[in-house]
Amino acid sequence: MPRPIQATIHTAALRHNLNRMRAAAPDAQAWAVVKANAYGHGIEQVYEGLRAADGFALLDLSEASRVRALGWRGPIWLLEGVFEARDLELCSRLNLWHTVHCDEQIDMLALHKTHEPHRVFLKMNSGMNRLGFTPARYRSAWTRLNALPQVDEISLVTHFSDADGSKGIAEQMAHFEEATRDLPGERSVSNSAATFRHAHSATVKADWIRPGIALYGSSPDFPEHSLADWDLQATMSLHAKIIAVQDVPVGGSVGYGSSFVAEHPTRIGVVACGYADGYPRVCPSGTPVLIEGVRSQTLGRVSMDMLTVDLTALPQAGVGSTVTLWGQSAHGAVLPIDEIAHAAGTLGYELMCAVSARVPVVTA
């Protein structure tokens, strides 16, 4: 028998979450962002649930090839564009749309030989200072691109640093508006947080939204809003089984460093999941889990292949009981990945991307 741990990807939940994003921006088309192997879910595993999207956005050429291999003939967008000149050959061959964020990428395009001109997304650095042309340089980049025979339509793009927080997007949106006012082309500005929190605003009318995290059942602005607040569903469940039980007397400790010491007689379940599976080692004693759908907590330190949970109030649980580390239990209870991420001092993004290769993935 394989080690009893498994990640389940929920196709119906992906479909539901995509519909939620569309409802938040009903006039826009929707990219499904599937970079980082669909946020750790697996591109092949999410394809069925997200194929109603208008396009797939990602970073790696190898991931673009995998989407094409699944039979997708619609738009694919390389969100960071090409990394070297020969990447453009694959863009031509696979008909990939790509971001242009720097002069070097325009230089590469100018030297590229292609029968079909490329659809490109000209990126503005409207204040985040990662990728893109500043507002002052945007127009000259557009003019240069527009003069190239290798370039077909040019779309206008920026990315927000604070769509999920109190600073908001107004300042960046004003820079974007100001510098693109009389330029033709479709626009795309909103990730998940901006789609939920700002896409209804009259200043944020855009042709394409680019949600990622919300599709994958994590609230883009937790803890201000939870999964349930946004009516999203968990798309990844991490389940493992209890492989041993210990009755720990008062004063007995559990796990490395004896970080948990029993103050009452405590019944411990040992779960076949550890940090080598992607469960964060930094999660403190007391991090929530579901045991056969009933909420309990971890006790003591997470080790490489195991963690320990409190069974004291669950006498019916024992070896073979299923523990939901995050996601949906078979009993209908849900433990949002955001709660575990919060306990680990990080975001749902990082946890779902970090589920390790040794965890088998199934779709449901």
What b-and-e string marks burial along 261-290, b requiring 16 or more CB atoms within 10 Å of the CB? ebeeebbbbbbbbbbebbbbeebbbebbbb
Comparison of 6 and 125: residue with beta carbon closer to ligand PLP: 125
CB of 79 to ligand PLP, least distance (A): 5
CA dist 31 to 220, 221, 264, 269, Å? 16, 20, 53, 43
CB of 211 to ligand PLP, least distance (A): 5
Q: Are 241 and 4 in contact (CB under 8 A)?
A: yes
What is the binding site for ligand PLP (CB under 6 A)?
33, 35, 79, 159, 191-193, 210-213, 220
CB of 135 to ligand PLP, least distance (A): 18
Instruction: Please report the beta strands in the chain, taking only residues with DSSP state E, as ranges in sequence order.
Output: 5-9, 29-33, 55-58, 76-78, 97-100, 118-124, 151-158, 187-190, 208-209, 236-248, 253-254, 260-261, 266-271, 288-291, 294-297, 307-310, 322-328, 334-335, 361-363
CB of 209 to ligand PLP, least distance (A): 9
Comparison of 82 and 213: residue with beta carbon closer to ligand PLP: 213
Comparison of 63 and 310: residue with beta carbon closer to ligand PLP: 63
Comparison of 6 and 218: residue with beta carbon closer to ligand PLP: 218
Which residues are part of the catalytic machinery? Answer: 35, 256
Q: Which residue is nearest to ligand PLP (CB)?
A: 212
Q: Are 242 and 317 in contact (CB under 8 A)?
A: yes
